[in-house]
Structure 1
Amino acid sequence: MVEPQYQDLLIVGNDIALDAVGVPMGISDRPSIAQDIKHMIRESGLLVELVGERQADKWSLNLSRLENLVESDTRIQPGTAKITRVESETVLVSAKTVEYQHIEFTL
């Protein structure tokens, strides 16, 4: 079996996920990258700025900033990050990783 390149603890609901016996669960490689990107976006504060925002130009500007933020991660292929508004308070994040192809999640 190939040794994972990226490893992390699985975070669910802002807390470390535990298995049935209480041991922290881990994730590796592609899911680990997606989780790191998700946390980077949340910590940037750019999503908070969009809550209640009705001006399309401000939404567009912040989505572009978020795409640039995602692409700043060296594990993401430049020019592949795409962030789209799915619902009034939900955005879809997709990008291609250098080693593991496509990642996609919603925030």
Structure 2
Amino acid sequence: MSNLVSRNFTNPQERFYTTDPAQNLKSFIEKGDLHFLSEFNGIFPNFISKVKSASSKLNAMDIKFCVLLKMGFSTKEIASVTKSTIRAVQSRKYRIRKRLGVPKDEDLNLFMVTFS
């Protein structure tokens, strides 16, 4: 019995750390750990400042969505992480698109992934 306990619960954080920093970051985001922002800045040091400079109309939640899009999260995953509806995420993405001036024919997810 003690072997079972020590094997499964010795270090509950251990399963969230991998050798891939982006995967670690995704794990932090999915479990709601606020540590993800410092990790994100370590991986993409200039992204947030460039997004902010691209449009002064973006608020904190818009920037969080941009971070999630940069990490490759789908609309459904963003809805789950932010505890909102898919329709709310779609509306937020539309507002971000307008505020950043992303053309309608360009995919916002791809735009954010390639934005640097």
> What is the TM-score with the length of structure 1 in the denominator?
0.29
Q: Which has the higher contact order (CA 8 A, sep 6+)?
A: 2
> What is the TM-score with the length of structure 2 in the denominator?
0.28
Higher helix share: 2
